[in-house]
Amino acid sequence: MAILRVGLRSSCEYEWANHVPGALIAGVTASEIESLAKGTGTWSDADAAVLDLVDDLCADNCASEKTWKALTATRDEGEIIELLMLIGFYRMNAGLLNSLGVQPEPGRPRLGQSMSYEVPMPSKRPISTSAAGTPSEAKPDGTWQLKFHHPAATQELQLVIETREGVLSGTLANEAAGIIVPISDVSVNGCHVTFTSEMTKPFPVTITWNGTIDGDFFAGTTTFRDAGSFPFDGTRVG
């Protein structure tokens, strides 16, 4: 909601259009988005303080005493600093996008509007090669080409998992963005595999991956703290 408010207050069509779907997936309703745009919503004290912070920063580059008091009543210092960094990042983005005249992709909502959204269907799972159609014990080692289905765009990722001295580890890469991060807490339970990765931009957040491996097919969901869950799927390529 804070990012949407930044897009609204900055008149950034692109930023608004690409975060409405994510808000809907995270559980924000279309009516709440419309209320946010019209300024007619009724929010909890914690949420209202965040929205007021966005308004203050976009108008005066500084939080008012009233807003700061409301923030400190509902959040600790670390959370407030994260909010300030998040809002600052998206204000910077809005200035860049507006200056370059970047427009939303066709079909995205216009500034101040909501939309209906359906999560993309993952690739069709192949017929299981294991007995009775039940996936066998997962063998995660190898290189996997994954598709991460996010509301803003589907991203292609490369996951590498390997066993060293009995411990599973690996990396997750977005080659298009030039990003590669280590994965940790890799766990295998039957055909189920879980691991975590750390996103560092635009703000730090831990992402949990939970999926099922059937032969060379891997599918499941990713969960972002406070930002919802999104599907992924892919195949082993090496």
Domains of the chain by range and CATH? 2-100 (1.20.1290.10), 135-236 (2.40.128.120)
Segment 3-55, tens digit of pLDDT: 999 999 999 999 998 888 777 766 788 888 888 988 887 889 999 999 999 99
Q: Say if CB 228 and CB 236 are below 8 A apart.
A: no
* CB-based contacts of 6-9 (< 8 A; 24+ apart in sequence): 6/54, 6/58, 6/87, 6/90, 6/91, 6/94, 7/90, 7/94, 7/111, 8/36, 8/37, 8/111, 8/112, 9/54, 9/55, 9/58, 9/59
Beta-bridged to residue 171, according to DSSP, are: 160, 182
pLDDT recorded at residue 31: 86
pLDDT tens sequence across 187-222: 998 889 999 998 765 556 788 999 999 989 999 998
pTM: 0.56
Q: Which residues have CB under 8 Å from 105's CB, separation 6+?
A: 17
Model pLDDT for residues 55-83, shown as the tens digit of each residue: 999 999 999 999 999 999 999 999 999 99
Mean pLDDT for the chain overall:
85
Q: Identify the helix (H) or strand (E) that includes residue 23.
A: helix 13-25
Vertex 227 angle, CA 53 and 13, to 5°: 60
The CA dihedral of 150, 152, 156, 162, to the nearest 10 degrees, is -40
Distance CA 38, CA 152 (A): 23
Pair of tokens at residue 221: 């969901």
Which residue do the tokens 């560092």 mark? 200
Give yes or no for residue 127 having a pLDDT over 50. Answer: no
The end-to-end CA distance of the chain, in Å, is: 41
Contacts of 131 (CB under 8 A, 6+ apart): none
Report the greatest alpha carbon distance in the chain: 66
* Confidence at residue 107, expressed as pLDDT on a 0 to 100 scale: 77
